[in-house]
A and B are shown apart, each in its own frame.
Chain A
Amino acid sequence: TQLLEQSPQFLSIQEGENLTVYCNSSSVFSSLQWYRQEPGEGPVLLVTVVTGGEVKKLKRLTFQFGDARKDSSLHITAAQTGDTGLYLCAGAIVGTYKYIFGTGTRLKVLA
């Protein structure tokens, strides 16, 4: 069974704090995506990482793809209330057409 485990599942922090969300699997991914979802809406793509060891920055968000392409992390610096939402990692398993999703991290940033 191919799984993509995210941690933590829930996170409640104060505005201005930093946080990191992790996404781990025993599978190797040809690419991995991070999405953010608001209630009642579809997930919106934040970033795609493809190369092992790759680091991408999107304003206050930093995404890292593990060297072995089995794990990834999302780091948010100085969180804002607008960062509140459900964060999902997902990826295409190498050598297959399968695309699997992480369990999700629900982030709440308090003012």
Chain B
Amino acid sequence: KAGVTQTPRYLIKTRGQQVTLSCSPISGHRSVSWYQQTPGQGLQFLFEYFSETQRNKGNFPGRFSGRQFSNSRSEMNVSTLELGDSALYLCASRPGQGGGETQYFGPGTRLLVL
């Protein structure tokens, strides 16, 4: 079974621009979660999508948004980029039915905002 894939792996943008990151979950997984990881703040939860609906949300500004498609692939968008948005963005998938599920991570997208 193929793992979680994320594209692109690396991205350089300038302040004020917007960016879209993509995540393809493990086949059969309907839950996709996004995380931001920085050296100072650790792993921070952005949001979770399940069956095309946002099911959980972290404490990030509205500049961070996401969506999920019918094939469970998900995209995350950050508008009006700030220097502080430079981070490793991780996507993770799991079946999403609750219970003793395991979440699997993709390799991440490293975003650098100049």
Q: CB within 8 Å of B: which residues of A?
A: 30-31, 33, 35, 40-45, 48, 50, 88, 90, 92, 96-101, 103-104
| A97–B50 touching, CB < 8 Å | yes
Q: With A97-B56, A101-B45, A104-B43 known to touch, is A50 a contact of B100 (CB < 8 Å)?
A: yes
Query: In the complex, what residues of B have CB within 8 A of residue A101's CB?
Result: 35, 43, 45
Q: Which residue of A lies closest to B91 (CB)?
A: A42
Are A31 and B106 in contact (CB-based, < 8 A)?
Answer: no
> Which secondary structure dominates chain B's binding surface?
strand
New A-B pairs, 14, CB < 8 Å, besides A96-B98, A97-B48, A97-B56: A31-B101, A42-B6, A42-B105, A42-B107, A43-B90, A45-B104, A92-B99, A97-B31, A97-B55, A97-B98, A98-B56, A99-B48, A99-B101, A103-B42
A100 and B92 CA atoms in complex are apart in Å by: 12
Residue in B closest to A96 when the chains form the complex, CB atoms: B98
Tell whether, in the assembled complex, residue A41 and residue B107 are in contact, meaning their CB atoms are under 8 Å apart: yes
Task: Indicate if the CB atoms of B105 and A31 lie closer than 8 Å.
Answer: no
Assess the A35–B105 pair: CB atoms within 8 A.
Answer: yes
Chain B interface residues (CB < 8 Å from chain A): 4, 6, 31, 33, 35, 42-43, 45, 48, 50, 55-56, 88, 90, 92, 94, 96, 98-108, 110
A46–chain B nearest beta-carbon distance, Å = 11
Q: How far is the CB of B108 from chain A (nearest CB, A)?
A: 5
B98 touching A92, Cβ below 8 Å: yes
Q: Which residues of A contact B4 (CB under 8 A)?
A: 42
A31: chain B residues within 8 A (beta carbon) = 99-102
Query: How near does chain A come to B10, taking the closest CB pair, in angstroms?
Result: 9
Q: Which residues of B contact A50 (CB under 8 A)?
A: 100
- Chain A neighbourhood of B102, CB < 8 A: 31, 33, 45, 48
Residues in A whose Cβ lies below 8 Å from that of B48: 97, 99
